[in-house]
Amino acid sequence: MSFRASAVLVLSVATVLGGCAPGSSVSGGSQGSPDGTESSPVRSPRSTGELTPTPEASASPPAGGEGTPQPSPGPVGASECSNEEATVSDPAHRSPGALRGDIDGDGRSEVIWLAVDPRAKAGCQVFLAAGSGPVVHSLAIVQPELNLELSPPALNALAAIDTEPGLEVVVDLVMGASTRFVGLFGMHSGALERVRFDGPSTLPPDLIPYGGSVAHLDGVDCVRPQGTIVMSSASPTAERYAIRRRFYRVTPGGSTLLPLRTEHHTVKARALNRFPELASPPFAGCA
């Protein structure tokens, strides 16, 4: 798998003690928010500012000159970024906070990092890279809402979201007023790819919200059976919270999320802890 790594700070949501029994209803397919609200990313112009260091760095990418970058093919079979190889190869462009894990399913760990060229054109500024030995795979992360100066992308975590060997890469990409948004990436057929899905119509495609505040909460995690994830949002209504839980199935190979069903619940604030995805980092429960 190829990785795009962008990191955004994880917001934790404090849950209130106690619980009340919710009332619930289930309907097929995705539906809008019960109170008509959605968290939306802040669209910002392309920035040429310097990167803010990522808080944690668990491993270092291969030293410059040791790996041969192998750009992952795009829709037309080749990278459209002329700077990709040079950016991925140059240690000066590498963001702190590399991760280590097996993303291609061969039983050996790769080093995953982000390479950033803030002076490049939009769509060729941020690359997800993964290397093991002499070969390095990379993929340009295309996200119009990126703001390299105010909220530089950062690696968030590695997670096993499907039933196939190999981990997926969770990358913080966009920061809203109180909500953060991640992209999901994986290695499929020897190339890094972004995991695609259709979320709420108010959000750009393929962005997953998490965090928030008492006015609106979002979260995502794995649930049973394996290969199923839930994206949840909670909005206050009177003295309760209206919760919408969207369930998706990960397709074989992990490159697409297909909608399964949507559940709606109404609970008191102290019962929010019944939905752990609302109070955890993204994909925290994925085994």
CA distances from 229 to 186, 248, 254 (A): 15, 5, 12
Does the residue 18 lie in any domain?
no
Does the residue 5 lie in any domain?
no
Average pLDDT estimate for 31-56? 40
| 280 compared with 21, residue with greater pLDDT | 280
Does the residue 7 lie in any domain?
no
E strand or H helix that includes residue 174? strand 168-175
| 11 compared with 251, residue with greater pLDDT | 251
Residue 6 pLDDT grade (very low, low, confident, very high; cuts 50, 70, 90): very low
Between CA 90 and CA 223 the distance in angstroms is 39
Please count the structural domains in the chain.
Answer: 1
Residue 22: pLDDT above 80? no
Q: What pLDDT does 65 receive? A: 42
Residue 203 pLDDT grade (very low, low, confident, very high; cuts 50, 70, 90): confident
pLDDT one-digit tens code per residue, 55-83: 344 445 554 444 555 555 443 335 789 99
Q: Which domain holds residue 242?
A: 23-44+52-279
CA angle 169, 13, 260 (to 5 degrees): 55
Residue 84: pLDDT above 60? yes
| 25 compared with 176, residue with greater pLDDT | 176
pLDDT one-digit tens code per residue, 120-149: 999 999 999 999 888 899 999 999 999 999
pLDDT one-digit tens code per residue, 157-195: 999 999 899 999 999 999 988 899 999 999 988 899 999
| 199 compared with 245, residue with greater pLDDT | 245
Does the residue 236 lie in any domain?
yes
Does the residue 4 lie in any domain?
no
Does the residue 261 lie in any domain?
yes
Q: What pLDDT does 168 receive? A: 96
| 283 compared with 253, residue with greater pLDDT | 283
Does the residue 9 lie in any domain?
no
Cα 151 to the chain's mean position, in Å? 14
Does the residue 71 lie in any domain?
yes
pLDDT one-digit tens code per residue, 144-158: 999 999 999 999 999
Give the pTM: 0.74
Q: 14-49 in b/e burial notation, b at 16+ Cβ within 10 A?
A: ebeeeeeebeeeeeeebeebbeebbbbbeebebbee
